[in-house]
Amino acid sequence: MESSTTTSRTEWVMGILLVLFFLFVLVAPGIGSLTGWGQAVSSAEQRVLAPPPRLPRHLGELRAFRTALDRYWADHFGFREWCVQAYSRLMVLGLRTSSSVQVMLGRDGWLFYTGDGNVEDLRGATRIPAPELAAYALRLEERRAFVESQGGRYLLMIVPEKASVYADGLPYWAQTRRGPGRLDQIVDYLRAHTRVDVLDLRASLAAARETGRLYFQTDTHWTDRGAFVAYQALMACLRGWRPELQAIDDIGWRDAGWYEGDLARLLLLQHRLREPQELLALRQPVVLTSQELMASRPEMIGRGRFQLIESTHTNAPTLFVMHDSYMNFLAPYLPGAFSRTWFKWQPAFDEQAIRNLKPDFVVHEVAERFLMSSLRENPPGISTEQEALRAAFAASTDVRLAVTNAAAMAWVRRGAQVHFVEAPEGMDWVAEGPDPYVFLPAIAGASAGIPVVRVAMTSGVHTECSFLYMVEKQCAFLCTGRYLSEGFNEIYIPLTGGRVVGEIRFDPAETSGTYRLHALEIRMIPALPEFLAGMSPPVPVL
């Protein structure tokens, strides 16, 4: 009896302690949120955290308030970062399991990025359909022909993924490739069917592996060593065209402390998974002057923002580089061989800049994982796709929708985050957020032909407009879109994939701001131009 009493008292005491702990854990985040304790927010998320919600002024705003409070609380409750870090340590360091779906843990400390279809590509499980390859090659061929028409040479420089060079760092299950990857397919196709020059860096990097680490273990990028191997390969390629180009070869290496990679940051373990960094040191400094050029300044040369770097070799050729983040590693010394080098961050192909600058070389540097997604349709000036669609559209008299003035806006059903203001030469569409959309009426009448949308719109920024629609006998939405450049755009978009049914969602942009719509028309064309007919339909999104 006495034992039972002791036990129940013991149980009671432990129960009370547990309750106190439970209540402490429940209220600590709230107290932390109010007092600011444990509110440190890491910049590692690389996004703007949700702002505080605005109190609702009427019942109609309750839903928005609820969503805003949900988001705000999820981003700001106290001790959040401590929790995330603790979880990441437990998973990665304790259980050898990635705490992020974007990061794959490899062997011997290697981390790999899994986004953008990387994993399936690693397994050789991704095939680019033949029509898509053909369209891809056509666009590159258009670029090459255009650059040559301006007196330059065009080079596609592909930066391999870390996994393509350090496959032995992958987990065992990912090391067996079941077929050629996207890069193999593209390189083989371009070499067999086009005159596009392709610099595939895989062989150069593989051969240089013994010299040192070419990619960071905890980052998606290459190291200075890897970048220098790429530089040498690039210069060798360009010297094949202009032998007078002088490449740098008098270099050394110096230790530069610890490097915190972007993949380690994704895991929020950048302080635990850092690695030593080695920087390239030029023995003979390259004298360069740099300035930033923007479209709004008198030196306007193209669209958007450029970096112009000039060297002392005033008689050397000029170079125009469209690039992503990998090129930043070469930027300090690559311009040394050229009189002028313009760097332009992708993705749009800036034919206007090339027309104005007439560079000797146009290098289009692209990471392997962006090969497909970064090469969108060419600008109207050089795109045969747009020309063909424009001709077919003009030839059609089967008009299904024409929104060219305020009266015609009655056909448009408002969706969200957008309102309209009458303006000279059209309507101003004011996007109040990043996801503005409206609904266009269903395409009525006979089903023969393919609807083509003509959008004439002036945009203040680079953005993208898109259409979501359903086709007969499919339960998913199809999505197709085109880039909008700064200034006036006239684009033609076919809605392919089957007979379009129901309302069509039109997202005029992906950025808040004002967009002047001059015309939005839908006409039926009998069939797609022949070279577009084989292209795969838009990908279902829902």
Per DSSP, which regions of 218-350 are E strands? 251-259, 275-282, 288-294, 305-311, 318-323, 340-345
- Residue 261 belongs to what H/E stretch? none
Q: How far is CA 25 from CA 18, 35, 39, 41, in A?
A: 11, 16, 15, 19
CB of 281 to another protein, least distance (A): 29
CB of 176 to another protein, least distance (A): 8
Q: Kindly state whether residue 46 participates in binding another protein, applying the rule CB under 8 A.
A: yes
User: Which position has the token pair 């007919």?
Assistant: 533
Q: Kindly state whether residue 84 participates in binding another protein, applying the rule CB under 8 A.
A: yes
253 or 370: whose CB is closer to another protein? 370
104 or 443: whose CB is closer to another protein? 104
145 or 167: whose CB is closer to another protein? 167
Structure tokens at 155: 């080079």
Q: Which of residues 50-79 bind another protein (CB under 8 A)?
A: 62-63, 66, 69-70, 73-75, 77, 79
Distance between CA atoms of 246 and 266, rounded to whole angstroms? 40
Considering only 1, 57, 173, 530, the residue that binds another protein (CB under 8 A) is: 173
CB of 274 to another protein, least distance (A): 17
The distance from CA 313 to its chain's CA centroid, rounded to whole angstroms, is 35
Distance between CA atoms of 150 and 144, rounded to whole angstroms? 10
98 or 164: whose CB is closer to another protein? 98
# of chain residues touching another protein (CB under 8 A): 69
CB of 338 to another protein, least distance (A): 28
Distance between CA atoms of 386 and 95, rounded to whole angstroms? 53
Q: Kindly state whether residue 102 participates in binding another protein, applying the rule CB under 8 A.
A: yes
91 or 388: whose CB is closer to another protein? 91
3-state secondary structure 196-249: CEEEECHHHHHHCHHHCCCECCCCCCECHHHHHHHHHHHHHHHHCCCCCCCCCC
119 or 408: whose CB is closer to another protein? 119
Q: Which of residues 7-36 bind another protein (CB under 8 A)?
A: 7, 10-19, 21-23, 25-27, 29-30
Which region, judged by CB under 8 A, interacts with another protein, from 90-98, 199-207, 384-392, 396-404? 90-98
The distance from CA 479 to its chain's CA centroid, rounded to whole angstroms, is 17
- Residue 80 CB contacts under 8 Å (≥ 6 apart), including other chains: 29, 38, 39, 41
83 or 294: whose CB is closer to another protein? 83
Q: Kindly state whether residue 283 participates in binding another protein, applying the rule CB under 8 A.
A: no
Distance between CA atoms of 416 and 439, rounded to whole angstroms? 10
30 or 151: whose CB is closer to another protein? 30
Binding mask 214-253 for another protein (x = CB under 8 A): ------x---------------------------------
User: Which position has the token pair 């064309």?
Assistant: 525
Contact 144, 154 (CB under 8 A): yes
- The binding site for another protein (CB under 8 A) comprises 3-4, 6-7, 10-19, 21-23, 25-27, 29-30, 44-48, 62-63, 66, 69-70, 73-75, 77, 79-80, 83-84, 86-88, 90-91, 95-100, 102, 113, 115, 123-125, 171-174, 178-179, 220, 262-263, 265-266, 268
